A and B are shown apart, each in its own frame.
Chain A
């Protein structure tokens, strides 16, 4: 077992707690700043990564864990990355001649159907 496991340092948990609460407030406040969707996503994910790293490192004791755990997580991370890449690639894998709808269809509004029902569906002309 790790050194940390034998002598848990309670103070560090309170520091992490305070940091997590502060970062939660920062996440909410940052979302009100109009910086565009791309930068907004980047800022929110950056803060989320910091918060999750704090939880994993200190609450889950990953900062002082054994190598086998790191290898297990690295393997999971590699598969996760591969899956993300495959999913993103599938965005471009449409039937020949098909394209994503960029504008709401005219007749959708005439029939008073909620436009969101059709989001993300490829359209074959």
Chain B
């Protein structure tokens, strides 16, 4: 017997399993990042000295990464639209662009980190850099998680399109919801760490 509601939504909730699952997961993610944002606020209001983000970090690189992540969100949603239009070629192109943009984000982040390390700036340097490395490091792990999932759907995972296209489309929608959340977190990280 097949598992129910993996493709079609349950009548009372109007949701298929994966949709509810991803939102429950994101609710837990809200708490994870929320705890760190709370720590940021507490440490900042308790500090007698707190550096201006733009004095110690590279704002153009941070802004570039913001544009990269926003663009990747658009390509991600377009990959889902492509499946709705039953255009597998366009889906592959859009998802590949999403993955490349995510890798571009990681390259920029690697440049930023290596610049800090070369100046002997580490998490132990100050409370500011401790929370900077923790927040951006955790966010970078989430970006890499998205890259792994999307790469799976771009190559081996695409096989499902031949056998169960609707379920595959649902999977891409759910992967997209996760990816947009990663973008959403960065939208808050950029101003609080780089600008304020």
Contact = CB atoms under 8 A, between A and B. Distances in A.
A82 to B, nearest CB: 10
Contacts of B50: 119
Interface residues of B, number: 62
Contacts, number: 162
Interface string A60-71: 110000111100
Given A27-B191, A69-B15, A120 B127 contact: yes
B34 A31 contact: no
B24 A72 contact: yes
B138 interface: no
Nearest to A43: B191
- List the 3 closest pairs (A to B, CB-CB), nearest first: A116-B126, A87-B38, A76-B27
From B20, B50, B173, B180, residue with most partner A Cβ within 10 Å: B180
Interface in A90-111: 90-91, 100-104
Contacts of A41: 196
Contacts of A67: 14
A88 B125 contact: no
A124 interface: no
Q: Interface range on chain A: under 10, 10 to 19, 20 to 34, or 35 or more?
A: 35 or more
Nearest to B8: A1
B192 to A, nearest CB: 7
Contacts of A5: 173
Interface in B42-79: 42-51, 54, 59, 63, 66-67, 70-71, 73-74, 76-78
B177 interface: yes
A87 B41 contact: yes
A8 B81 contact: yes
Contact of B27 (A60, A73, A84, A100): A73
